[in-house]
Structure 1
Amino acid sequence: MKNRLLPLLLTATILSACSPKITSRYAATNKVYSEHADSLSHTLLAESPAMLTDSLGRSVPSEFIGTVNFNLRKPNYVIIHYTAQDSLGQTIKTFTLVKPQVSAHYVISKDGKVVHMLNDYLRAWHAGVSKWGSISDMNSCSIGIELDNKGNEPFSGAQMSSLITLLAKLKKDYNIPTANFIGHGDIAPGRKPDPGILFPWELLAQKGFGYYSDMLIVPAPANFDSATALRLIGYDTRNLPAAIGAFKRHFVQREESTRLTQFDLDVLFNVYKKY
Structure 2
Amino acid sequence: MKIDRTDQSPNFNERSLPISQLVLHYTGMETGQAALERLCDADAKVSAHYIVFEDGRISQLVEEEKRAWHAGVGNWRGISDINSSSIGIEIVNGGHNFPNADDLPPYPDEQINAVIALSKTILERHEIQAWNVIGHSDLAPERKEDPGEHFPWSSLAAAGIGLWAEFEAHPDTRILFEPGDRDRGVSIIQQGLAQIGYDIAVTGQFDERTKFVMTAFQRHWRPSNIPGVIDMDCLQRVGALVRLLP
- TM-score past 0.5 threshold: yes
TM-score bracket for this pair, using the shorter chain length:
0.7 to 0.9
Residues of 2 paired with 1:243 and 1:133: CA distance? Answer: 13
Shift of 1:243: 0.7
Name the counterpart of 2:100. none
Verify: 1:150 aligned to 2:102, yes or no. no
Residue 178 of structure 1 aligns with an amino acid whose one-letter code is A
Residues of 2 paired with 1:149 and 1:137: CA distance? Answer: 25
User: What are the superposed Cα offsets for residues 34-92 of structure 1, whole Å, 9 maximum, x if unpaired?
Assistant: xx99xx7xx9xxxxxxxxxxxxxxxxxxxxxxxxxxxx975211000000011221111
Shift of 1:206: 1.4
**Larger relative contact order, structure 1 or 2 (CA cutoff 8 Å, min sep 6):** 2
Aligned counterpart in structure 1 of residue 163 of structure 2, from 211, 214, 231: 211
Q: Between Structure 1 and Structure 2, which shows a larger proportion of strand residues? A: 2
Which has the larger displacement, 255-264 or 122-131? 255-264
Aligned counterpart in structure 2 of residue 257 of structure 1, from 220, 227, 230: 227
User: What are the superposed Cα offsets for residues 134-168 of structure 1, whole Å, 9 maximum, x if unpaired?
Assistant: 10110001000000001111111000000010011
Shift of 1:21: 4.7
Superposed, which structure 2 residues align to 1:34-49 within 5 Å? none
Verify: 1:194 aligned to 2:146, yes or no. yes
Is 1:197–1:253's contact at 8 Å kept on the other side of the alignment? Answer: yes
Residue 163 of structure 2 aligns with an amino acid whose one-letter code is Y
Shift of 1:256: 2.9
Name the counterpart of 2:39. 95
Is 2:119–2:161's contact at 8 Å kept on the other side of the alignment? Answer: yes
Residue 226 of structure 2 aligns with an amino acid whose one-letter code is E
Name the counterpart of 1:237. 200
Unaligned 5+ segments in structure 2 are 96-103, 177-183, 202-208
Residues of 1 paired with 2:125 and 2:197: CA distance? Answer: 24
Residues of 2 paired with 1:149 and 1:20: CA distance? Answer: 19
Q: Between Structure 1 and Structure 2, which shows a larger proportion of helix residues? A: 1
Superposed, which structure 2 residues align to 1:57-206 within 5 Å? 74-151=18-95, 152-206=104-158
Residues of 1 paired with 2:218 and 2:166: CA distance? Answer: 15
Unaligned 5+ segments in structure 1 are 1-18, 44-71
Residues of 1 paired with 2:26 and 2:105: CA distance? Answer: 11
Please give the secondary structure, in 2, of the residue aligned with 1:209.
coil
The aligned length equals: 214
Shift of 1:177: 1.3
Name the counterpart of 2:99. none
Residues of 1 paired with 2:199 and 2:163: CA distance? Answer: 18
When residues 116 and 264 of structure 1 are mapped into structure 2, their CA distance, relative to the original with a 3 A threshold, is same
Residues of 2 paired with 1:226 and 1:82: CA distance? Answer: 28
Please give the secondary structure, in 1, of the residue aligned with 2:55.
coil
RMSD: 2.6
Residues of 1 paired with 2:151 and 2:58: CA distance? Answer: 18
TM-score normalised to structure 1 length: 0.72
Work out which of the two has the higher radius of gyration on C-alpha atoms and give 1 or 2: 1
When residues 20 and 241 of structure 1 are mapped into structure 2, their CA distance, relative to the original with a 3 A threshold, is closer
Is 1:226–1:265's contact at 8 Å kept on the other side of the alignment? Answer: yes
Residues of 1 paired with 2:226 and 2:94: CA distance? Answer: 17
Shift of 1:216: 5.0
User: What are the superposed Cα offsets for residues 71-117 of structure 1, whole Å, 9 maximum, x if unpaired?
Assistant: x9752110000000112211111012122211000000000000100
Residue 241 of structure 1 aligns with an amino acid whose one-letter code is K
